[in-house]
A and B are shown apart, each in its own frame.
Chain A
Amino acid sequence: MNALIIEKTEDSPGVKFDPATAQLSLSGESRPENAGKFYNPLLEWITQFESILFWRKEQKMDQKPLVFAFRLDYFNSTSAKYIMDIILTLNKLADKGYPIRVEWYYDERDEDMLDAGKEFAEMVKIKFDFLPN
């Protein structure tokens, strides 16, 4: 499975999904012109990544936890819904017994970003770590 790397732009976040390390990250500003076009491939990638997690589990390999790092400076309400979709997809994987952790980065002066992360965390079972930038 290939890594998914997308450079960040003025209106869409940078993406770094690395299957080898199981480290996934989303960083920057998110208000893409077409949110579906941007986020659907990300959701697909995560869904496909389950087969890797499954294979590693079957092979009794050391299961590295999947860590999803949100390093967003800003996201609009349309993106919020897709971020929720990402978190719900991760939650489904956690329900199947795969180790998943979310890292939610925020600027200490930006309370709303911390609150937004807490809101997401409340809606799922996965563990969230809140980390100041």
Chain B
Amino acid sequence: MRYFSNPVIKIGAHETGKPYFSHTKHQHLHFSQNSMQDNNSLNAYEVHKFMSKMDILVAFTGHFDHQMITILLKNIRGKLKTTSPEMAIEQKVYCILVECVENVSKYSSGNEDSSRNGMFMLCKSDTKYTVITGNPMLNKDIPSLKTKLDNVSKMSREELKQLYRQQIMSERETENNAGLGIIDIALKSGNQFHYNFKPLTETTSFYHFQTEIEINS
């Protein structure tokens, strides 16, 4: 039986919360015959069909630490080189992907608790690349993030450039420059991004972020 031969899929996590990313480790993707009838189980073929239909190039869920991200990004960079028609697009997608993935890692870093695990997907259709990330976050952190996203999403290219200059010259508040990252994503995607927060518990929500990079832009 062949597992996910095309597209190559890297998905899942060990029980320990440590993600794996080798599609050769078939044991993690074993589904029993019975699961065909069991709605609560994953069926490999259904997942494969879904992923193909959604044009998913790479999908990953698990704990986003720096080392993991580095391995993933290296792999994706290679993949982009072979699937992208132009270097300019490939580079844009890569830049956006890094900012998005690093953003997820900020929320899961230093937290081995698997309930804090994030996910990301890279999809490619004939006309665009789509980068999707998702991660649980604390409700108390949402208002400031949402204000930032709302502001940036309304800006014109010139306004974004102006804000970028302002931010890059301003004093460093934290090690992670979330502000600069989101402006960069907005500039490189032509401000094509969407986001929402789905309530999970009283104190947490799931943050969905999606951005699109048009291939013929």
A residues neighboring B (CB under 8 Å): 10-11, 31, 33-36, 74, 76-78, 80-81, 84, 107, 109-113, 119, 123
Instruction: Answer yes or no: B212 CB below 8 A from chain A CBs.
Output: no
Please, which residue of chain A has its CB at the minimum distance from the CB of B74?
Answer: A10
Q: Is the pair A78, B176 in contact by a Cβ cutoff of 8 Å?
A: yes
Q: Taking A78-B176, A81-B168 as contacts, is the C-beta distance between A11 and B70 under 8 angstroms?
A: yes
B residues neighboring A (CB under 8 Å): 66, 70, 74, 86-88, 91-92, 94-95, 98-99, 102, 161, 164-165, 168-169, 172, 175-177, 180-181, 183-184, 188
Q: Is the pair B87, A34 in contact by a Cβ cutoff of 8 Å?
A: no
Q: Is the pair A78, B87 in contact by a Cβ cutoff of 8 Å?
A: no
Question: Which of A31, A84, A112 sits near B102, CB closer than 8 Å?
Answer: A31
Q: Is the pair B70, A78 in contact by a Cβ cutoff of 8 Å?
A: no
Q: Enumerate the 3 nearest inter-chain pairs by beta-carbon distance, A residue then B residue, closest first.
A: A109-B87, A77-B180, A33-B66
Question: Which of A31, A36, A80, A112 sits near B92, CB closer than 8 Å?
Answer: A112
Q: Taking A34-B175, A111-B88, A123-B169 as contacts, is the C-beta distance between A74 and B70 under 8 angstroms?
A: no
Q: Is the pair B70, A10 in contact by a Cβ cutoff of 8 Å?
A: yes
Q: Report chain A residues within 8 Å CB of B172.
A: 81
CA distance A123 to B162 in the complex (A): 12
Q: Is the pair A76, B98 in contact by a Cβ cutoff of 8 Å?
A: yes
CA distance A131 to B177 in the complex (A): 29
Q: Report chain A residues within 8 Å CB of B176.
A: 78
> A16: shortest Cβ distance to chain B, in Å?
23
> A86: shortest Cβ distance to chain B, in Å?
12
Q: Report chain B residues within 8 Å CB of A109.
A: 86-88
Q: Is the pair A110, B177 in contact by a Cβ cutoff of 8 Å?
A: no
Q: Report chain B residues within 8 Å CB of A35.
A: 175
Q: Report chain B residues within 8 Å CB of A76.
A: 95, 98-99, 102, 181
